[in-house]
Structure 1
Amino acid sequence: MTMNLMRHSELYANRLIAVLLICLCTIAGIAIADTVRDDLFEALKNATTEAEAKSIERDIWQSWIEAAPTPQLKSKVESAMRKREQYDFQGGRDILDEVVKEAPSYAEGWNQRAFILFLQGNYEASLNDIERVLELEPRHFGALSGKAMIYMTLGRVKLGQETLREAVEIHPYLQERSMLIKPKGVDL
């Protein structure tokens, strides 16, 4: 019990340090956030419980948002996300159009727009944005999951399953893992 508590405390402390470093890097403009994210992805892959994985997942999502090149762009993305939550998809999309124009190398701007495009039923445009996200951040399990959902929605189930398996390799506790079809004769 004590060893388990020590391990949990150590993991929590490491994640807290990682998130603080990402925040400092954003403020200082230092490019070590990728190293911090590497540590978070390693922790995610080695998580032993769903609760632990969800906590790490939140830290990764926060790091993606914090990677905005300026505080103004981060604010725009957060504003677009609020609009999306209020079902103002077009309002959110308009903001994200500005974000990707102003910061074409900011993966989360593209990802958030891809999500809104998906919600609007514009699957081809969403897939195009997802491809850009994955060029910028190949481990973006959210983009991979979205890509899988689009493929399956379009009836391309085999491709959707392959893509979802890629996402689950990165994030073993990904919520959408329940959509994986178990191959005959294989235990998942």
Structure 2
Amino acid sequence: MSAMRFSTYLISFVLVAGPALAGQVDRALTSATIDKSAEMPLGPLAPDDARLGRLYTQLKKERNPEAASIIAEEIRQALTRSGSPTVDLLMSNATKSIDAKRYGAALDFLDLVTLIDPEYAEGWNRRATVHYLMGNIPKAMADTAHVLALEPRHIGALAGLAGMLNDGGRDAQSLLAWQQYLEYYPADRDAQKEALDLINKLAGQKT
């Protein structure tokens, strides 16, 4: 799947939500291409970045679902670490608020996270989750696009994107998102099933 096709399908989906959202997504996606080039960052890597790259490489090669799930969890934990005690505290408070279904409070914490460290992808990802839980799909989509601009390999954001596209009846676009997800996490059987179900559904629509 080409990055251009993936970006085009995402933008075509959010156009139905209005030009403001389309502009947000367009700006986010043009700042980072969603394709395999994300696996080869330019310049020297920080130790955490180098470790994250190795984890993604291991995840892509691993075919055992149980072993792959362990690697995926390591990636999730690595992405959660911000390197800032302040941001980590805000994220912890946001998580507690989400668990208590105090979504407004969670948004307040996460808004601060994105202001303090706008390059921290997990802050945007967590905020996308809260918007989704509150039923604000356009904002969830915009934040998800921002996550993928910062970290195109973010499997959580890709899965969330696929789910939102599917919920919106965009089966072809949802399939593309799952295919992108499976590029990084091929051993995920649930994702394999989601993709296969969409392939069969789309094939049935053509007959």
Using structure 2 for the length normalisation, give the TM-score. 0.70
State whether structure 2 residue 196 is matched by structure 1 residue 182: no
C-alpha spacing 1:158/1:116, structure 2 compared with 1 (3 Å): same
State whether structure 2 residue 131 is matched by structure 1 residue 117: yes
The residue that corresponds to 1:101 in the other structure is 115
| CA distances 1:41-69 after superposition (whole Å, capped 9, x unpaired) | 01111113111111111100110011x14
1:117–1:125 Cα contact (<8 Å) kept = yes
1:99–1:109 Cα contact (<8 Å) kept = yes
| Structure 2 unaligned residues grouped into runs of 5+ | 1-44
Identity of aligned residues (%): 29
Letter paired with 1:81: T
State whether structure 2 residue 154 is matched by structure 1 residue 140: yes
Deviation at 1:88, TM superposition (A): 1.9
| CA distances 1:135-170 after superposition (whole Å, capped 9, x unpaired) | 110100110111111111111111111111101111
2:63–2:187 Cα contact (<8 Å) kept = no
Highest relative contact order (Cα 8 Å, sep 6+), 1 or 2?
A: 2
Letter paired with 2:199: K
Deviation at 1:90, TM superposition (A): 1.8
The residue that corresponds to 2:96 in the other structure is 82
User: 1 CA distance for matches of 2:140 and 2:181?
Assistant: 17
Task: Give the total of aligned pairs.
Answer: 155
User: 1 CA distance for matches of 2:191 and 2:112?
Assistant: 30
State whether structure 2 residue 43 is matched by structure 1 residue 43: no
| Structure 1 unaligned residues grouped into runs of 5+ | 1-29
User: 2 CA distance for matches of 1:140 and 1:60?
Assistant: 9
2:63–2:186 Cα contact (<8 Å) kept = no
